[in-house]
Amino acid sequence: MAIVLRTQQLPRLLATLQNIPKTNHIRGEILSKLRSVITDYDFIVDRWPDYRALVVRINPVTAKFPKHLDVVSSVYAKDSEALESLLQRPRVIDCTSRVGFVGVHPYEMQAVVNAMQKQQRKHQMFLLLDMKGTEKTLKNCPVPDGFKIRSLIPEQAYLVNSMWPYNDGIHSESYVKELISKQPSCCLYNRERSLVGYALAYHYGYLGFLHVMKEHRRRGYAKVIASHIAALCLQQMEEVHIYVLKGNTASIELSKSVGFVQNKDSCWWIETQGSEKKMGFNHK
């Protein structure tokens, strides 16, 4: 059985996921829908309320951004066999197109892989670090004298999207514009009022989009922007998260320098096709 939960049922689902660190991403998706940030996702369980498996995926019919978000799904399981079975139910995941799962933890990983293999879909996997920052760990990096911090404005969506490693043109630009209007963001401007760099939170609350303009790099500005966007997010939540691709040394070191700490368990990005994703801060 596959049950799509109604919006009224999501607070109860959210309550069941509290204090489970590996569900940070899914909790962010639930809050995004409840707060009307991005409401494109369905929450599907094998039974209710005593569910054993949960799949979060785009609604292909009602989604506002189906062309961009259709590849990003997430899962959680109390019973891995139940998750494997749920993933193979009709209309849960469209295995005829590109499929991707973000933040898959070891317990759920084999169920996802098995489901893909039974659908005869080749897949690739990339190891991610889910790094966390709290009021106790995050560091304040002061704004240089004469510099200003401002929020992004919707008119800057084209610029942000054009610099984003996994933009897909106008589809992702619309998504970015929506985020700018609803999520924490910050821009750093220098004494000449030129844009130095910016950052923006995803709809599920994780940080990303950090970019420093080429002519301003290697001067420590990324730390300033990262610390300020993290502080803005802490005004809305108790902890802030970021995905970083394992092996992306620059992003890992940047995140650590402003107080992000690696969670005990790593997780995976799993997809059926496409190129490697650059998760987290795109620091150059």
Q: What is the mean pLDDT of residues 101-107?
A: 95
- Does residue 153 register a pLDDT over 70? yes
- Does residue 67 register a pLDDT over 80? no
**Nearest-angstrom CA–CA distance, 134 and 153:** 27
- Sort 258 into a burial class: Cβ within 10 Å, 0-12 / 13-18 / 19+: buried
- Does residue 146 register a pLDDT over 60? yes
**Nearest-angstrom CA–CA distance, 155 and 170:** 14
pLDDT digits (tens, 9 = 90+) for 14-54: 999 999 999 999 999 999 999 999 999 999 999 999 999 99
Name the band, by pLDDT with cuts 50, 70 and 90, for residue 265: confident
pTM, 2 dp: 0.93
- Does residue 229 register a pLDDT over 50? yes
- The residues, any chain, with a CB within 8 Å of residue 284's CB and separated by 6 or more, are 212, 214, 217, 250
pLDDT digits (tens, 9 = 90+) for 246-260: 999 999 999 999 999
**Nearest-angstrom CA–CA distance, 38 and 63:** 9
Residue 258, phi then psi, degrees to nearest 5: -105, 5
Beta bridge partners of 242: 131
Q: How far is CA 33 from CA 39, 89, 125, 230, in A?
A: 4, 24, 28, 21
Better pLDDT: 97 or 183: 183
Place of tokens 């569910």: 51
Q: What is the pLDDT of residue 152?
A: 98
**Nearest-angstrom CA–CA distance, 228 and 230:** 5
**Nearest-angstrom CA–CA distance, 102 and 232:** 24
Quote the strand ranges of the chain, DSSP E.
Answer: 3-4, 41-45, 53-58, 74-77, 100-104, 124-134, 148-150, 185-189, 195-201, 207-212, 239-245, 261-262, 267-271
With contact defined as beta carbons under 8 Å apart, do 164 and 141 qualify? no
- Does residue 171 register a pLDDT over 90? no
Positive or negative torsion for Cα 240, 32, 60, 95: positive
**Nearest-angstrom CA–CA distance, 171 and 9:** 30
